Amino acid sequence: MTDQPFITTVERHFLDRKGRNPHATAEFSWLLSGITLAAKIIAAQIHRAGLVDIIGRTGRTNVQGEEVQKLDEFANDTLVRCLGYRDNVGLLVSEEEDEPHVIKERGESGKYIVLFDPLDGSSNINANVSIGTIFSILARDPKVDRNDVLAHVLQPGCKQVAAGYVVYGSSTVLAYTAGAGVHMFTLDPSIGAFVLAQENIRMPEAAKIYSVNEAYEETFPENFRRYLRWAKSADGGGYSMRYIGSLVADFHRTLISGGVFLYPSTKKSPEGKLRLLYEANPLAFVAEQAGGLASDGRQRILDKKPTAMHQRTPLVIGSKQEVERVLRA
């Protein structure tokens, strides 16, 4: 027998890194297992979507005024159920719900807050394009009144204990960081476990790829337009454009291949479209831990002090040199 595990699961990997993160405890690993369990259930349902007629609209709109599709609801319920039973989870915040879930029975012990976008990119479901789950984990500040729910939720991204995402694509991939690098796992459906695929992933420092919905270009702030003009000019030296329209998938590609993803403010979304707490913050944490950067065009995403639970933000995220180029513009 060797001491090396046969396979390394997310929870095992996290526990093996004890000492690098004060939260790397068995208790926290139990919380993570709630996320991986939910991800497996969601992945299974997505892959059966065409069979079970779960695709389609519910006819209702969510807090953001967008159409909610059935799989969004399924993903949301699954995360709430899987995490609601973890003793250390005190609060849950979801893109799909107006208010946080206060897990009352565990009011005194639930020290972690999990914020998530249960199914990002859901408008792509019908086209079989990759979609994903994004999550951010915060700890309650013991100095803050327990009943002041919003004060616990509205913490800047630099306070995240861990964060990550799952992409439901040609395979199901999970990437997480707990502040000591970014690690990637692939779901092996034959054994139902996320197994370690790559540790300490580094985002390429530079890559001539920008990812943006250029249809809105005319309404972008001038500095973003200037950057795009430069990237397309002979001075830019030959950029490519890649845009899936599913943040989690566009970010995953950027993490692997490099480049920059942009979602500036537009006429339609003056504050930007993406949400700070459960989209920009977790991906910014992952980007920085992989050697990249994330900014709203003015300040580091992780330093932004949130003022509302469903707050939106402009987002520039990706390879260090590419984000710096956009910011210089």
- Positions in the binding site for ligand AHM (CB under 6 A): 66, 95, 117, 120-123, 213, 245-247, 273
Instruction: Please report how close the Cβ of residue 55 comes to ligand AHM at its closest, in angstroms.
Output: 15
Q: Which of 174, 62, 164, 162 is nearest to 113 (CA)?
A: 162
Which residue number has the CB closest to Mg ion? 120
> Rounded CA gap, 236 and 244, in Å?
22
**Which of 121, 157 has the CB closer to ligand AHM?**
121
Structure tokens at 224: 């973003």
What is the 8-class DSSP label of residue 88?
T
| 273 contact, one of ligand AHM, Mg ion, none, CB 5-8 Å limit per kind | ligand AHM
Instruction: Please report how close the Cβ of residue 64 comes to Mg ion at its closest, in angstroms.
Output: 9
The number of beta carbons lying within 10 Å of the beta carbon of residue 76 is 24
Residues in the chain: 329
Instruction: Please report how close the Cβ of residue 246 comes to ligand AHM at its closest, in angstroms.
Output: 5
**Which of 110, 164 has the CB closer to Mg ion?**
164
| 213 contact, one of Mg ion, ligand AHM, none, CB 5-8 Å limit per kind | ligand AHM
| 67 contact, one of Mg ion, ligand AHM, none, CB 5-8 Å limit per kind | none
Three-class SS state of 140: coil
> Rounded CA gap, 39 and 165, in Å?
10
Instruction: Please report how close the Cβ of residue 66 comes to ligand AHM at its closest, in angstroms.
Output: 6
> Rounded CA gap, 6 and 74, in Å?
33
Structure tokens at 124: 């792509």
**Which of 29, 254 has the CB closer to ligand AHM?**
254
What is the 8-class DSSP label of residue 214?
G
**Which of 122, 254 has the CB closer to ligand AHM?**
122
**Which of 186, 213 has the CB closer to ligand AHM?**
213
Q: Which residues bind Mg ion (CB under 5 A)?
A: 117, 120
Distance of CA 295 to the CA centre of its chain: 15
